[in-house]
Amino acid sequence: MNKWRDNKAWFLVLPVFVIVAFSAIIPLMTVVNYSVQDIFGPGQRYFVGVEWFRDVLLDERLHDALFKQLAFSFMVLLTEIPLGIAIALMMPKKGWTASACLVILALPLLIPWNVIGTIWIIFTRPDIGLFGAIVNNAGIAFDHTASPVDAWITLMLMEIWHWTPLVALLAYAGLRAIPEAYYQAAKIDGASSWAVFRYIQLPKMRGVLTIALLLRFMDSFLIYAEPFVLTGGGPGNTTTFLSIYLVKIAVGQFDLGPAAAFSLIYFLIILLFCWLFYQALQAVGTGDKA
Amino acid sequence: MARIELNEIKHSYLPNPSDEQDFALKRIHTVWEDGGAYALLGPSGCGKTTMLNIISGLLKPSHGSILYDGTDVSAMQPEQRNIAQVFQFPVLYDTMTVYDNLAFPLRNRGVDKQSIRERVREIAEALDLTQDLNKRAANLSADAKQKISLGRGLVRSDVAAILFDEPLTVIDPHLKWDLRRKLKEIHTKFNLTMIYVTHDQVEAMTFADKIVVMYEGEIVQMGTPQELFENPEHTFVGYFIGSPGMNFLDCTLDGYIARVGSIDVPLLPSMTNRCTGQSLKLGIRPMYVGLHDGPVEHGIEGAVLGVEDQGFCKIVTATFNGSEIKARVNENGAVPEGKCWISLPPDKIKLYCDERLVRQGDSQ
C-alpha cells in the first residue's frame, strides 16, 4: 500500500477530537491543575506538588467514607444482580403481559433522582408514610432520621427499588436472545431447569450481565442525589458516602485543591474496580481447561 | 433403535384450526423402519421441521399418535423418548469442554463416572474429536461443533433415532462432503434410525436410502432416489427432484391420445384407462425428450429457444404450439437451430390427474 504523504484524512477525526477535548480532556486537566496547587484567590496560587494527595489519602474521614461506599456498592450488587436475573426469568415471554411487565419495570427508571429521594422520605416517615407508619404500628421502631441502621435499610431499599429494574431489563433482553434450539437441545439431553440456567442462560447472559454489573457498580459508587435528599449524609456521618463528603469539601468548605485531589483518586478507584470486574467476567467464559 | 410409526398425525399451530389451510401438517401416516437412513426433503415451510419436532416430542401434535416399536410415546417428554436431535445451528454448552458437552446427557441421567468416561472416549474416537476433548467447545470450528451436537446424541447407548434438522447449513462447502460421509459411517457403525431434514436434493440423495418428499404439510412420496426420479407420484416431486425438473404439459384426454393444445400425443393404452380427474397433465423428464433436426414419426414441430451448456450436458428449451419444454442433450449431441422436431416416447410419459400420478393399469 502506498502511503499518502499529505494525509488530509486526519481532519475527519478533528470534530471528534474537539468534542472529546471539551467534554473530557480539558475538564479533567483542570482538576489535575487544581490538585497540585494551593489557590487563595485569582492570581494567588502556589504549587504544592503531591501535598493534597497525601493529605487526602491520610484523611480518616475519607477512609471511613470509602469503606461505607464500598460496603454500599457491594451490598447493592449482591442484591440487585441476582434479584434482577430472578425477575427476568419469571417474566412472561410474549403477549401483552410481557409488554405490561416491561412498562411497569421501567417506571422507577423514569423518575428524577431527587424526586426519588423525596418519595422515599415521605414513604418511610414514621407518622404519615405508608411504609414507616405500618412498620411502626406493627411495633417495630423505624426512623431513618434517628437510627443509622434504619437509614441504611431505607437507602438500600430505595436503591434496589430504583435500579433493579435496569438489571432485570438487561437480563430479560439477554434471555430473549437465546435461540429456541438451545432449550430444545437441553430438553432432549434431559437437563434439569437448574442445569439449563447454569449452562445455557447464565453463560448466554454474560455480555448483558457484564454491562449491568459495571453500570450498577459505577452508579452506586457515585451515588449522590438520593442519599443527599433522603438523609443528607446523616444521622451523624453514618451515610456520608464519598460523593457527599467530596461535595462538602469542594462546595461547603471550598477547598478546591484537596477536593480536586480527592476527585482524581475517586476516579481512579472506579476505573480500577471496573477493570477488575471486566477482566474477571471475561475470564469466566473463555479460555481452555488445561 | 426403533421403528417409528406416525399414526394419523395432524398438527396446527393455531388454537382453533378451522379449515385445511390452518394445518402445518395435514395428514401424516407413515412408518420409519428401524435402522433406516431417511431424508425428509421439501421446500421451506412445508412442515419438515414440524414433523421432526413431533417425532422428537418437542411438539405435541393436535391429532394422532406416535409409536416407537409399537409403544405409544405421544404423551412422553423428549428426554424420555431416547431420541437425539441435531439442529441447524450447532447447539453447545459454551462454557463446558468438549468432554463435558459429550458427558452432559449421561450425567443428567445419573450414569456412573466410569461408564461415562468409556462411552465419551468411544464416541469421541468415532467422531475424530479425541484430540479436542479438553478444549472449550466454544472455540472450535463450525463442523467440529456440529459433530459435538451429534455426539451428544450418540453417547446415549439407548438412543432410538437421531433427527437432523438441516445440519449442514452453516458448514463450509468443502467440509460438507466430509461430514456427510462421517454421518454415513456413523449410520453403518451404530445402526441407528436417522432422519435427515433438508431442502437440498443432492444432500438427500447422497445421505439417504429412502427419501420422503413433503409438500404443503403432506408426504407426497416416499422412495429410493431412483423411484423418485423415474416415477414421481406427484407433480411436485417431478418438479423438485432432478435438475431441471420434469416437464409438465396441460392436456385433455381422448382415448389413447392426449391433446396438448392442438397437438396429439399418443400414450400407452395401460395408462389412460378410466381417468376422470379435473386437471390432467403430461409429465416427462428432460432426458427422455427427443430432439431432432428433421421430421420423425409422431414428432411435434417446434422451435429451439435457447441452450444452456452445463459442461456435461446441454439443456435445450424449445417451444411448440405455445408450450415450453426442456430437453437434455448429450454434450456432444447436435442441437438443431431454429426449427426442430420434438418426440415424446410414450413409455416415458407420465400422466397426472389432479397433480397425482395415474398408475399404469390402475383400476380405479
First-residue to last-residue Cα distance in chain B: 39
- Say how far apart CA B185 and CA A251 lie, in whole Å: 78
B299 to chain A, any CB pair closer than 8 A? The answer is: no
The closest CB to that of A289, out of B79, B83, B136, belongs to: B136
Give B293's Cβ-side CA count (13 Å radius): 7
Q: What is the mean pLDDT of chain A?
A: 85
pLDDT at B150: 87
Contacts of A163 (CB under 8 A, 6+ apart): A76, A80, A108, A109, A216, A219, A220
User: How do strand A44-47 and strand A37-41 relate by DSSP bridges?
Assistant: antiparallel
Q: Residue A196: closest CA among chain B residues belongs to which residue?
A: B93
> Which residues of chain B lie closer than 8 angstroms to A189, CB-CB?
79, 104-105, 108, 152
Q: Residue B150: closest CA among chain A residues belongs to which residue?
A: A185
Residue B237: is its pLDDT beyond 70? Answer: yes
Interface probe, candidates B77, B87, B111, chain A, greatest A C-beta count within 10 A: B87
pLDDT band at B277 (very low <50, low <70, confident <90, very high): low
Do A213 and A129 meet the contact criterion of CB atoms below 8 Å apart?
A: no
Task: Match 405500618 to its residue by C-alpha cell.
Answer: A134
pLDDT at B29: 83
Contacts of B41 (CB under 8 A, 6+ apart): B48, B198, B199, B201, B204, B211, B212, B213, B214, B240, B241
Q: Which domains does chain B have, with CATH numbers?
A: 4-235 (3.40.50.300), 245-357 (2.40.50.140)
pLDDT band at B363 (very low <50, low <70, confident <90, very high): very low
For residue A284, give how far its alpha carbon lies from the nearest alpha carbon of chain B (Å). 8
Cβ of A192 within 8 Å of Cβ of B149? The answer is no
Vertex B315 angle, CA B313 and B318, to 5°: 150
Q: Residue A290: closest CA among chain B residues belongs to which residue?
A: B134
pLDDT at B276: 64
pLDDT at A286: 57
Cβ of B78 within 8 Å of Cβ of A200? The answer is no
pLDDT at A82: 95
pLDDT at A76: 92
Cβ of B94 within 8 Å of Cβ of A290? The answer is no
For residue B81, give how far its alpha carbon lies from the nearest alpha carbon of chain A (Å). 8
Residue A166: is its pLDDT beyond 90? Answer: yes
pLDDT digits (tens, 9 = 90+) for A108-123: 999 888 888 888 888 8
- Say how far apart CA A73 and CA A156 lie, in whole Å: 10
% of chain B at pLDDT higher than 70: 96
A203 to chain B, any CB pair closer than 8 A? The answer is: yes
For residue B55, give how far its alpha carbon lies from the nearest alpha carbon of chain A (Å). 12
pTM (global) more than 0.95: no
pLDDT band at A146 (very low <50, low <70, confident <90, very high): confident
Residues 25-54 of B with CB under 8 A from A: 53
The closest CB to that of B89, out of A181, A203, A286, belongs to: A181
Cβ of B135 within 8 Å of Cβ of A288? The answer is yes
pLDDT digits (tens, 9 = 90+) for B163-197: 888 888 888 888 888 888 888 888 888 888 888 88
Altogether, the residues listed in chain B come to a count of: 364
Q: Which domains does chain A have, with CATH numbers?
A: 62-285 (1.10.3720.10)
pLDDT at B364: 39
pLDDT at A168: 94
For residue B210, give how far its alpha carbon lies from the nearest alpha carbon of chain A (Å). 25
% of chain B at pLDDT higher than 90: 3
Q: Residue A194: closest CA among chain B residues belongs to which residue?
A: B108
Altogether, the residues listed in chain A come to a count of: 290
The closest CB to that of B108, out of A189, A284, A287, belongs to: A189
Residue B362: is its pLDDT beyond 80? Answer: no
First-residue to last-residue Cα distance in chain A: 42
pLDDT digits (tens, 9 = 90+) for A84-107: 999 999 998 888 999 999 999 999
